[in-house]
């Protein structure tokens, strides 16, 4: 009698096989015909991160987004994240040039900056991005105020231009509007998920898809 | 002429007001009538984290989940997370007893353990939970294999029982099945999101809702 064996759950224990099967299911079920090349891989990973094939129609990338972001990463561009969850979702070993992954939200100067600027900590933290912002890949997965602030910096302050902006903040207040504003700005290659949906997992998934040819 | 002002985006810059407005929208739009007390706050924060009122019907909590998890946190229970993204989504200042937030996935012993156990690193990492597992709050937001492995440990190995299990892995291979298995096990208070949806943000949101009376 080996009762322990009988209670074992049947599930796949090989990480590579789980990825392969997941991506095959996604490509079978989701309509990704609008995307090709690396943009398609980005869309697949976003669906993967959310468990939702129904998110595919809400993904919008400017025509040059995937090439611009991938090219920047290959050249060693830093990745500027609005939240620690985004930064910790980026798989370091996929990065092509030991790229820096930066989140300034926890910097000790940020609460004072936010008070002085009369805004959220997430928005104020972008002041610390400036020295790294030129040619960077931006990944905003949490705070609409961070994306709005980035647009203000670009439109009004002549702040350095990132190579590409992953703008996928989530939520009920400002998220949809901030993403529409990014698309309307249009002067930096961008990725958005329309509407309220978004999040750190989507932002990190996009970076991970762009970082490597390997799936 | 102050053209800069004209291009400013109109958005709420007060974090507390953003939270209040978000939660009001959620309570207005989502059907949360199945939940009360802290369970309702958990459901609100899950909707908030995903931007999806339509996820509410997929949230299932055992009758004693919210009380058991909250009571454990008040007593100082550690929070055991399957992914760094979950651990980094837990707001430390909300925790009622300086609770430890633990993710063992990056422990240097895990790759060897995974090889020896012929399973994923996410599942193998749970071996390192054992000394902390009794009475802990478990938050699995990424890997179905971690949730399946936890159930094996509880059912077959006589592993220490957590006080509550937040079981919300995401994806296309094993996620739905692992959550069904957790609900079927039924011997530890649990929270699941049925089906493929889940994720680190949902797991962290549940912990954050349970951690404090304050919204």
% of chain B beyond a pLDDT of 90: 94
Whether residue B82 has pLDDT greater than 70: yes
CA distance A66 to chain B (A): 24
Contact B85 A197 (CB under 8 A): no
Residue A4: predicted pLDDT: 41
CA separation for the pair A160, B157 (Å, rounded): 56
Contact A145 B18 (CB under 8 A): yes
pLDDT tens, A64-80? 999 999 999 999 999 99
Interface A-B, measured as beta-carbon pairs within 8 A, has a size of 151
Whether residue A3 has pLDDT greater than 90: no
Residues of A in contact with B120 (CB under 8 A): 13-15, 18
Where helices occur in A11-157 by DSSP H, the ranges are 15-29, 37-50, 65-74, 84-89, 110-117, 121-124, 130-133, 144-156
Whether residue A49 has pLDDT greater than 70: yes
pLDDT tens, B29-55? 999 999 999 999 999 999 999 999 999
Backbone angles phi, psi at B88, to 5 degrees: -80, -10
Interface of A with B in 54-83 (CB under 8 A): none
Residues of B in contact with A172 (CB under 8 A): 21-22, 25-26, 48, 51
CA separation for the pair A177, A148 (Å, rounded): 9
Does A170 contact B at CB distance below 8 Å?
A: yes
CA separation for the pair A213, A202 (Å, rounded): 18
Strand partners for B140: B167
In this structure, are residues B123 and B145 in contact, taking their beta carbons and an 8 Å threshold?
yes
Determine whether B115 is an active site residue: no
Strand partners for B139: B81, B166
Does A200 contact B at CB distance below 8 Å?
A: yes
Residue A5: predicted pLDDT: 44
Residues of A in contact with B25 (CB under 8 A): 172-173
Whether residue A1 has pLDDT greater than 70: no
Whether residue A8 has pLDDT greater than 80: no
Does A49 contact B at CB distance below 8 Å?
A: yes
pLDDT tens, B147-178? 999 999 999 989 999 999 999 999 999 999 99
Model-level pTM?
0.96
**Over residues B76-95, mean pLDDT:** 98
Copy the structure tokens of residue B37: 């007390």
Residue A7: predicted pLDDT: 54
CA distance B4 to chain A (A): 5
């Amino acid at each position: 009698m080996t009762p322990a064996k009988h209670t074992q759950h049947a599930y796949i224990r090989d990480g590579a096989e789980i990825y392969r099967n997941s991506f095959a299911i996604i490509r079978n079920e989701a309509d990704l015909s609008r995307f090709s090349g690396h943009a398609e891989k980005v869309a697949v990973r976003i669906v993967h991160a959310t468990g939702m094939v129904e998110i595919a129609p809400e993904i919008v990338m400017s025509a040059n987004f995937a090439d611009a972001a991938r090219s920047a990463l290959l050249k060693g561009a830093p990745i500027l994240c609005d939240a620690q969850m985004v930064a910790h979702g980026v798989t370091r070993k996929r990065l092509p040039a030991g790229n820096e992954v930066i989140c300034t939200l926890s910097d000790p100067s940020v609460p004072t900056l936010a008070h002085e600027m009369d805004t959220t900590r997430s928005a104020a933290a972008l002041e610390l991005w400036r020295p790294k912002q030129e040619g960077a890949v931006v990944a905003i997965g949490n705070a609409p105020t961070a994306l709005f602030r980035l647009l203000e910096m670009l439109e009004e302050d002549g702040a350095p231009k990132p190579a590409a902006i992953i703008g996928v903040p989530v939520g009920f207040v400002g998220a949809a509007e901030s993403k529409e504003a990014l698309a309307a700005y249009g002067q930096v290659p961008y990725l958005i998920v329309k509407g309220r949906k978004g999040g750190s997992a989507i932002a990190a998934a996009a970076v991970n898809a762009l970082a490597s040819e390997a799936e």
